[in-house]
């Protein structure tokens, strides 16, 4: 299936109902689970979707097997694979005979229930069973001992003389007699990266070995590293090294043992001007590293002490950028999930980290398989490890959607500085600066009407006032910008001290706009004003702070007390959430 052609184009009622059932049964429908599932705006931080297009967190084949009610054998086979992972997990960890048998029966009942309809995604079945297992077993970190043993072994390996000799061996380094020093440095770094990727690829052999000699390590480091992903990484790092700017890579789902090799890779990447955001799991997910592992595993806490651990799972864009601009080069976040890569359920922090990254490196082979076999395209380039080969490491390159646009912090700041320069010039000419804050995306289905009202009323103000520069934020929107980008850019302008009058939309403004359009005010706009917008509420907070520094600035509009009805600023969307919705 090509997701660019919507499943819903034929408007078949039965298929529409089946789709709705699929999303609700899998608990990935935003309308049904708004506090758990990402809004469309947050999803678009990561996945490029066309208007009305539905995203599903699985391979195309799995989705088609469920929606078209075909290929049942494929679906059942994947269900069986889930049970084949869960059962040995329980039997290996639960020592008490009664509790083990109870858990196995309970999980099998849940497994049969969730798989009977052939509607629930295998990954969601797996997540539900894992959740029950952790809750009933009351074990916070299942497999903790096994993971710590793996990390301990790799930690010892990295400190060994054999490893140092192997990683620094000249074998395989090809140089011309006239190679400049910069090129020599690049080739050494790329050779080391290949060796580390290769060693991680052979992690099972590393774990099975009692003691690794230099010769054995050289053998394990010699696995071929190929694919478009490797070529892309090499070309990208070459270009980054020469531009003298920091770049960001999101490093997703490191695995026990190989996570320490990942950190060695990251140390090399830092030399290319790269800051790395490592995303771990929020809760137990087999051999993948969780935030609890990072905080409690002694072999990880020591290695991660040079990083900044971000525990806030709802971080704002400003706060994230402030952290990324610090002296730290490695950051750790959790993705908010206990399952395979699922952008519909990841945390706000993960979504924003994905959005700020230049590249995304997927370490988990299971995540990589699902992404590679889905025809969805993402907003960032993806580097994936291919599971389909065993004799060499094939790194797949999944380029971002050609229409995906990224506005970096530097881009947004440059746009803000250009506006500030323009306002300074206008003020030197004796003009007054007015900023107009209005509802844009807070009334469902009224985005275009909101922009029309804004344009009509601001034009009215411009005709009415002499020597007043009126800023209509909607006039400065560029394709690809979302509300997060706009809010970040405008806050720089708003705090510049150049605004003389900050006007907030009133209901009288809205009435006047409809009067100018020759229309009656429709029901959805009756009684509305800036206080119905969480974006405007955030801007009123900023306005009050700016006024303390610049008391001469006037604030015109609804009183501050009316804004208190809005308590939470939405993600990538100026949506409304009342106090009653906040737990």
Gap between the Cα atoms of 384 and 267, Å rounded: 20
Residue 440 three-state SS: coil
Return the CATH number of 144-398, one of 3.40.640.10, 3.40.50.10880, 2.130.10.30, 3.40.47.10.
3.40.50.10880
pLDDT > 60? residue 569: no
Which DSSP category does 381 fall into? E
Number of H helices, E strands in the chain: 24, 14
> Where are the domains positioned within the chain?
13-137, 144-398, 409-581
**Phi, psi (rounded to 5 degrees) for 435:** -105, 130
pLDDT at 460: 96
pLDDT tens figures, 300-340: 999 999 999 999 999 989 899 999 999 999 999 999 999 99
Which of 369, 400, 394 is CA-nearest to residue 250?
A: 400
Q: Please name the residue ranges forming H helices in 407-495.
A: 409-428, 447-464, 483-494
Tell me the pairing of strands 330-334 and 308-309: parallel
The Cβ of residue 82 has, within 10 Å, a number of other Cβ atoms equal to: 21
Axis crossing angle, helix 447-464 with helix 507-516, rounded to the nearest 10? 90
Question: Considering the entire predicted model, what is its pTM?
Answer: 0.86
Gap between the Cα atoms of 316 and 488, Å rounded: 10
Give Cα separations from 517 to 460, 470, 513 (angstroms).
11, 20, 6
| Residue 481 burial (10 A CB sphere; 0-12, 13-18, 19+) | middle
Gap between the Cα atoms of 342 and 124, Å rounded: 10
519: left (phi over 0), alpha (psi -120 to 50) or beta: beta
Structure tokens, 527: 């009684």
Rg, the chain, Cα only: 27
Structural contact between residues 44 and 482, judged by C-beta atoms closer than 8 angstroms? yes
pLDDT tens figures, 149-183: 999 999 999 999 999 999 999 998 988 888 888 88
The whole-number average pLDDT for the span 209-223 is 94
pLDDT at 34: 85
Decide which of 119 and 1 is more confident: 119
């Amino acid at each position: 299936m090509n997701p660019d052609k919507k499943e819903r184009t034929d408007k078949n009622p039965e298929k529409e109902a089946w789709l709705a059932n699929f999303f609700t049964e899998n608990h990935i429908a935003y309308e049904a689970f708004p506090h758990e599932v990402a809004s469309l705006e947050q999803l678009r931080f990561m996945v490029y979707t066309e208007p009305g297009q539905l995203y599903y967190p699985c391979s195309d084949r799995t989705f088609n097997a469920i929606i078209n009610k075909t290929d049942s054998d494929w679906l059942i086979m994947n269900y069986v694979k889930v049970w084949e992972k869960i059962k040995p997990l329980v039997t290996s960890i639960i020592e008490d005979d009664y509790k083990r048998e109870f858990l196995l029966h309970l999980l099998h009942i849940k497994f049969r229930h969730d798989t009977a309809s052939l509607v629930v995604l295998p990954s969601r079945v797996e997540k539900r069973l894992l959740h029950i297992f952790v809750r009933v077993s009351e074990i916070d970190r299942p497999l903790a001992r096994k993971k710590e043993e793996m990390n301990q072994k790799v930690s010892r390996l990295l400190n060994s003389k054999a490893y140092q000799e192997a990683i620094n061996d000249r074998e395989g380094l090809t140089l011309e007699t006239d190679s400049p020093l910069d090129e020599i440095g690049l080739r050494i770094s790329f050779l080391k990266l290949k060796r580390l990727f290769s060693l991680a690829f052979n992690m099972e052999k590393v774990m099975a070995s009692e003691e690794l000699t230099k010769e054995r390590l050289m053998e394990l480091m010699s696995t071929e590293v190929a694919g478009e992903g490797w070529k892309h990484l090499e070309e990208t790092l070459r270009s980054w090294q020469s531009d003298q700017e920091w770049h960001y890579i999101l490093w997703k789902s490191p695995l026990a043992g190989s996570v320490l090799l990942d950190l060695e890779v990251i140390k090399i990447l830092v030399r290319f001007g790269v800051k790395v955001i490592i995303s771990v799991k929020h809760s137990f997910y087999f051999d993948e590293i969780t935030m609890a592992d990072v905080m409690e595993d002694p072999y990880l806490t020591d290695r991660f002490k040079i990083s900044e651990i971000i525990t806030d799972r709802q971080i704002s864009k400003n706060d994230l950028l402030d952290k990324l601009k610090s002296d730290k080069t490695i950051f750790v976040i959790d993705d908010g999930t206990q399952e395979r890569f699922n952008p519909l359920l990841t945390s706000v922090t993960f979504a924003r980290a994905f959005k700020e990254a230049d590249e995304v490196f997927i370490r988990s082979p299971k995540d990589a398989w699902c992404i590679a076999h889905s025809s969805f395209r993402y907003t960032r380039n993806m580097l994936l490890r291919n599971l389909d080969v065993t004799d060499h490491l094939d790194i797949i390159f999944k380029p971002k959607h050609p229409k995906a646009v990224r506005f970096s912090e530097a881009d947004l700041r440059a746009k803000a500085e250009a506006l500030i320069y323009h306002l300074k010039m206008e003020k030197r000419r004796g003009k007054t600066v007015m900023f107009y804050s209005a509802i844009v995306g807070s009334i469902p289905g009224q985005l275009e009407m909101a922009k029309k009202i804004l344009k009509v009323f601001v034009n009215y103000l411009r005709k009415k006032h002499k020597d007043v520069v009126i800023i209509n934020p909607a006039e400065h929107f560029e394709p690809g910008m979302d509300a997060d980008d706009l809010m970040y850019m405008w806050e720089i302008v708003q705090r510049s001290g150049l605004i003389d009058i900050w006007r907030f939309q009133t209901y009288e403004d809205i009435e006047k706009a409809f009067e100018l359009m020759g229309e009656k005010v429709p029901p959805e706009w009756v009684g509305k004003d800036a206080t119905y917008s969480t974006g405007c509420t955030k801007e009123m907070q900023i306005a009050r702070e700016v006024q303390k520094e610049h008391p001469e600035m006037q604030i015109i509009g609804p009183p501050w007390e009316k804004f208190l009805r809005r308590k939470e600023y939405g993600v990538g969307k100026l949506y409304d959430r009342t106090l009653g919705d906040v737990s």
